[in-house]
Structure 1
Amino acid sequence: MNLEEMKAAVVDALEDVKATDINVIDVSEMTSLTSCMIIASGSSNRQTKALADNVQKKLKEKGADINGVEGEREGEWVLVDLGDIVVHIMLPATRDYYNLEQLWGAAESRRHNAKAAG
């Protein structure tokens, strides 16, 4: 399965369990750890866990490897590591607090400014 197919499968799995505010961020030029981050919100700890479970189930069915899962016990922020894609499923308050979209956007801005200056 290529990266685009994986992205689509993750988004579909999140939409199946009614995730909100799904954001796909290409981080391939900012880190060698992963190519893409997908961030989504769940309305409760139970839903974040169900979202993570569905992502794992659907991607395994398509032959993807699950490298690891963190945060399932608490459910405030569940991370599913698929290698080329890292999925962050968060409660809205946790998502607002950590604001990963801004963090990675700021990293990209700094990277572009450094290139422009050099």
Structure 2
Amino acid sequence: MDKELIAQWDMMVAIGINALEDVKGKDITVLDTSAKTSLFARMIVASGDSTRQVKALANNVAVELKQAGFEIISTEGLDSGEWVLVDAGDLVVHVMQPAVRDYYDIEALWGGEKPSFHNGAAKPWQAAD
């Protein structure tokens, strides 16, 4: 694989993670999807505690990537703020509230490990049906 392309993907991921950390994103997970799909190379999944924080996290990712010269193809889910997706071409960022993230479990769908959301609690909570 082209080293320059991989370096670009790594830069996009670093910018995305920094943007999420700036707004106190939680449980940030990075998945390498380059061997599984040609649609995008990397995926970041993160959690926010409220609709306001989820929106702010996604907006900060989009702003920071755009300022770094990357194209934002689309942003979906800002109306509800429960799950917002930022599509930056080779990088897709999912920002979700913990209950939504737990319910859809997209990390498992893409072959990643499911993070623990309970932070030491005796039993992890589950999304409502």
TM-score by length of 1: 0.87
**Percent of residue pairs bearing the same amino acid type:** 56
Q: Distance in 2 between matches of 1:2 and 1:30?
A: 19
Runs of 4+ residues over 3 Å off in structure 1? none
Matched residue type, 1:70: E
The match for 1:104 is: 110
Query: How do residues 35-114 of structure 1 correspond to structure 2 at under 5 angstroms?
Result: 35-105=41-111
Matched residue type, 2:12: M
1:73-95 deviation line (CA, Å, top 9, x unaligned): 00000000000000000000000
Matched residue type, 2:79: R
1:60-80 deviation line (CA, Å, top 9, x unaligned): 111110000000000000000
Q: Distance in 2 between matches of 1:30 and 1:56?
A: 24
Give unmatched runs, 5+ long, in structure 2.
1-6, 113-129
Report the secondary structure of 1:66's partner residue: coil
Note the aligned Cα RMSD (angstroms). 1.2
The match for 2:27 is: 21
Give unmatched runs, 5+ long, in structure 1.
107-118
The match for 2:124 is: none
Q: Distance in 1 between matches of 2:63 and 2:51?
A: 18
CA offset at residue 105 of structure 1?
Answer: 1.1
Q: Distance in 2 between matches of 1:14 and 1:26?
A: 18
CA offset at residue 15 of structure 1?
Answer: 0.2
Q: Distance in 1 between matches of 2:80 and 2:11?
A: 30
Q: Distance in 1 between matches of 2:84 and 2:47?
A: 10
Partner residue of 1:31 out of 33, 37, 42: 37
Match status 1:10 vs 2:21: no
TM-score by length of 2: 0.80
Q: Distance in 1 between matches of 2:33 and 2:80?
A: 27
Count matched residues.
106
